[in-house]
């Protein structure tokens, strides 16, 4: 049985729809606490049309993403946070979800007081790698476990936000900040079969 949860934010004129496999919520099945958790996560506002530079627009600007991609990344961040709270082992985000998490941490009042304090409610600390082959192996394993947990709860993860473990860890410097006054960036064309593994 699938439950389709839709939230239309009153302050934002868009709808967020998330499909959650209620029959596979962790080890407790159709758990009321997990349903309540998901409702709180889905209802948390990240977009405010009254602000010229709200969270969604700032994310899109800082990552050079279109608004629809930024909104999708935020939805995946919601799902990642759900997994972090409901799973017993550590979860590792994709690069795209990690960028959302990094930005959310800078909105410290919302992140610590509201997101971690009321929505989850759990302290969700960001622990970056300490480097080296042991850490690399640990995060690769955690990412694989995250993809498996995602599929149990939400179905197959979208590749645009959750690449395979190989793609996620093949180039650790895939995301870089650049000074647009000093360099220009050319978007790499997507040719059939090129760069897809």
Report CA Rg, the chain: 17
Sign of CA dihedral 145, 149, 155, 159: negative
Residues 6 or more apart in contact with residue 87 via CB below 8 angstroms = 26, 145, 149
Q: pLDDT digit of tens for each residue in the chain (197 aa)?
A: 333 332 233 333 233 334 444 434 443 334 556 999 999 999 999 999 899 999 999 999 999 999 999 999 999 999 999 999 999 999 999 999 999 999 999 999 999 999 999 999 999 999 888 989 999 999 999 999 999 999 999 999 999 999 999 999 886 666 666 667 777 777 777 667 655 54
* Sign of torsion over alpha carbons 120, 54, 106, 104: positive
Q: What is the pTM of this model?
A: 0.77
Report domain extents, the chain.
43-170
Tokens of 89: 């082992």
């Amino acid at each position: 049985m699938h439950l389709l949860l839709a939230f239309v934010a009153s302050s934002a004129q868009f709808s967020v729809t998330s499909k959650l496999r209620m029959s596979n919520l962790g080890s407790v099945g159709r758990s009321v606490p997990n349903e309540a958790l998901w409702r709180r996560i889905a209802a948390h506002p990240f977009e405010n049309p009254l602000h010229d530079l709200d969270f969604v627009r700032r994310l899109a600007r800082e990552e050079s993403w279109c608004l629809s991609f930024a909104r999708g990344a935020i939805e995946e961040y919601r799902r990642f946070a759900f997994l972090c709270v409901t799973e017993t082992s550590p979860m590792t985000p994709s690069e795209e979800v990690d960028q959302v998490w990094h930005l959310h941490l800078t909105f410290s009042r919302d992140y610590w007081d509201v997101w971690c304090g009321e929505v989850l409610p759990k302290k969700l600390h960001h622990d970056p790698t300490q480097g080296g082959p042991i850490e690399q192996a640990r995060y690769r394993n955690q990412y694989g476990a995250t993809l498996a947990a995602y599929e149990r709860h939400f179905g197959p993860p979208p590749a645009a936000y959750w690449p395979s473990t190989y793609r996620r860890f093949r180039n650790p410097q895939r995301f870089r900040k650049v000074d647009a006054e000093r360099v220009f960036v050319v978007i790499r064309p997507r040719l059939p079969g090129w760069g897809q593994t």
